[in-house]
Structure 1
Amino acid sequence: MARGIRYTREFQEKALRLLGESRANHSSETKALASVSQSLGIAPETLRRWRNRA
């Protein structure tokens, strides 16, 4: 399995902060994940893994 793009710790922290801030604007965690990941140009599953690790 090929390794994907490596994101910096700062980028990951920014993404998680945006996810936390946008949660109140969405009806579900899944919709917040989809919205934030789309705006950052990353896969929703990538953001979900970062959230689970944090």
Structure 2
Amino acid sequence: MSPPAAVPPAATPPGPATRAPQLAETGSDGLLAASVASAGLLIGGAVLYRRSRAASRQW
């Protein structure tokens, strides 16, 4: 008679020492600075556009 086949141990659930799943890093750390810079450039462009339009009407 042959010996019984070895049964692998059942997988144990993760214990409290494991970390919770996290979202991947997307590189959005500088989003606030980029938004502020973008708004500043848009406002600056609008000011320059209005100044050039006002200067062209004076002639």
Larger radius of gyration: 2
The two structures have a TM-score, normalised by structure 1, of: 0.32
Which structure dedicates a bigger proportion of its chain to helix?
Answer: 1
The two structures have a TM-score, normalised by structure 2, of: 0.29
Q: Whose relative contact order is higher, 1 or 2, with alpha carbons under 8 Å and at least 6 apart?
A: 1
